[in-house]
């Protein structure tokens, strides 16, 4: 069973209230189709944000879906909250009143105030415009030292995880350790997967190469091992290692004979965003993998970022991930 179907099954067995997920870009046809699908499945309650009544009137098949139309509502409660939250950073009430008319800000405010369990944005907004409000309003969780991202890649019976692919452009060794911690926490604690093998990737395996990037990954691994490893019992992390050694048993036995893994890695930590982002798009477009994410990990409440090339599958799948994150936060 795929990870997404497993999550869907867990959510359908949830005895708590149905998770409410707010979608920033309610006017988008793919978002509307996803909301209609989710509403009909009955596991998640979608909430669509529209900027104007005209956008709502032009929508399709979402008459039974909850909505908020920004220019038709009194948003002073949200503006005042945002102002109080950000006034020490220089925000004025006038600026706050303008920002609450922007769906990317409004979705984070709705989640922060507990009126929704999670938010999804990004099918039209850039990652920067999705994450800026989330970082300002939701903020980093107490359990994490960094906000990062992770992707789920699925093909047939194979499931892989890639991190970080969209947020931390060129992480330091310490940031790389924190990115790894976020990824392991998501896979082991949120998804409850066992026998996880995490590869901190490099162009070097066991010192076969040299350079600043190799040193960074080595240092990141040592920081992770000394700071975080004892938190987890179902995950083994190793670095630095090349992708072929991490993925292929026969290659690993030659390049890293000291690494006693009985299968290839399922979680891959990239040394910087270029390699992670390029790799996942190649896997998706050339390798035929279904991609869910980027999933944002490390926030106090879930706000997730869609790729602007996302289709119906990606939106629905990310909705279930967001609902699961919210459920885990509430436990």
pLDDT digits (tens, 9 = 90+) for 247-286: 999 999 999 998 999 999 999 999 999 999 999 999 999 9
Q: Residue 207 has what pLDDT?
A: 82
Residues 115 and 181 occupy one common structural domain: no
Residues 294 and 324 in one domain: no
Map residue 268 onto helix, strand or coil: strand
Strand partners, 269: 163, 200
Q: What pLDDT sits at residue 293?
A: 81
Q: Which residues contact 142 (CB under 8 A, 6 or more apart)?
A: 300
Q: What is the CA radius of gyration of the chain?
A: 20
Domain count, the chain: 2
Half-sphere exposure of 10 (CA within 13 A, CB side): 19
pLDDT tens, residue order, the chain (331 aa)? 688 889 998 898 876 789 999 999 999 999 999 999 999 999 999 999 999 999 999 999 898 999 999 999 999 999 999 999 999 999 999 999 999 999 999 999 999 999 999 999 999 999 999 999 999 999 999 999 999 999 999 999 999 999 999 899 999 999 999 999 999 999 999 999 999 999 999 999 988 889 999 999 999 999 999 999 889 989 999 999 999 999 999 999 999 998 999 999 999 999 999 999 999 999 999 999 998 888 999 999 999 999 888 899 999 999 999 999 999 988 7
Is the domain of 311 the same as that of 192? no
Contact indicator for 182, 229 with CB cutoff of 8 Å: no
Q: Which of 324, 313, 308 is nearest to 128 (CA)?
A: 308
Beta-sheet strands, E only, within the chain? 20-23, 45-50, 66-69, 118-121, 148-155, 158-163, 196-201, 235-241, 267-269, 290-297, 303-305
Q: Which of 266, 124, 99 is nearest to 187 (CA)?
A: 266
Q: Are residues 203 and 58 in the same domain?
A: no
pLDDT at 301: 97
DSSP state of 176: H
Rounded Cα distance, 229 and 231, in Å: 5
Residue 135 sits in the same domain as residue 148: no
Same domain, 169 and 293: yes
Q: Which of 101, 73, 69, 99 is closest to 86 using CA atoms?
A: 99
Predicted pLDDT at 206: 86
Count the neighbouring beta carbons within 10 Å of the beta carbon of residue 90.
Answer: 7
Q: Give the CATH number, domain containing residue 127.
A: 3.40.50.10950
Answer yes or no: are the C-beta atoms of 136 and 127 closer than 8 Å: no
What is the distance between the alpha carbons of residues 175 and 183, in angstroms, rounded to a whole number?
12
Is there a single domain that holds both residue 160 and residue 289? yes
* Domain range enclosing 27: 1-139+301-331
Q: Are 191 and 243 part of one and the same domain?
A: yes
Q: What is the pLDDT of residue 17?
A: 81
| Alpha carbon distance 267, 235 (integer Å) | 10
Token couple for 265:
């890695």
Q: What is the CATH number of the domain that holds 291?
A: 3.40.50.10750
Residue 1 is predicted with a pLDDT of 63
Whether residue 276 sits in one domain with residue 157: yes
Is 183 found in the same domain as 97?
no
Query: In this structure, are 13 and 125 located in the same domain?
Result: yes
**Among 300, 301, 298, 307, which residue's Cα sits nearest to residue 323?**
301
Q: Are residues 309 and 288 in the same domain?
A: no
Distance CA 292, CA 287 (A): 15
Identify the bridge partners of residue 112 per DSSP, sorted by sequence position.
Answer: none
């Amino acid at each position: 069973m795929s990870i997404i179907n497993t999550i869907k099954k867990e959510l359908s067995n949830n005895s708590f209230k149905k998770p409410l997920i707010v979608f920033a870009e309610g006017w988008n046809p793919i978002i509307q189709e996803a909301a209609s699908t989710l509403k009909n499945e009955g596991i998640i309650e979608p909430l669509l944000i529209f900027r104007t009544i005209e956008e709502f009137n032009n929508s399709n098949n979402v008459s039974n879906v909850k909505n908020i139309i920004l220019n038709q509502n009194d948003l002073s409660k949200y503006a005042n909250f945002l102002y109080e939250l950000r006034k020490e950073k220089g925000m004025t009430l006038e600026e706050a009143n303008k920002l609450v008319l922007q769906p990317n800000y409004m979705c984070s405010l709705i989640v922060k105030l507990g009126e929704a369990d999670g938010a999804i944005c990004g099918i039209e907004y850039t990652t920067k415009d999705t994450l800026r409000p989330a970082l300002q309003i939701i903020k980093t969780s107490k359990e994490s030292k960094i906000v990062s991202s992770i992707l789920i890649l699925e093909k047939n019976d194979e499931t892989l995880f890639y991190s970080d692919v969209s947020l931390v452009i060129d992480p330091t060794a310490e940031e790389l350790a924190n990115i790894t911690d976020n990824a392991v926490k998501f896979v082991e604690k949120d998804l409850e997967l066992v026998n996880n093998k995490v590869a901190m990737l490099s162009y070097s395996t066991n010192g076969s190469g040299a350079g600043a990037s190799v040193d960074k990954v080595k240092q990141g691994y040592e920081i992770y091992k000394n700071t975080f490893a004892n938190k987890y019992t179902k995950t083994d992390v190793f670095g630095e290692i090349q992708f072929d050694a991490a993925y292929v048993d026969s290659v690993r036995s030659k390049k890293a004979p000291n690494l006693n893994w009985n299968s290839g890695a399922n979680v891959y930590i990239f040394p910087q965003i270029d390699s992670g982002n390029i790799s996942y798009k190649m896997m998706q477009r050339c390798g035929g993998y279904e991609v869910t994410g980027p999933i944002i990990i490390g926030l106090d409440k879930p706000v997730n970022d869609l790729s602007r090339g996302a289709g119906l599958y990606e939106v629905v799948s990310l909705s279930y991930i967001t609902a699961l994150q919210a459920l885990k936060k509430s436990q």
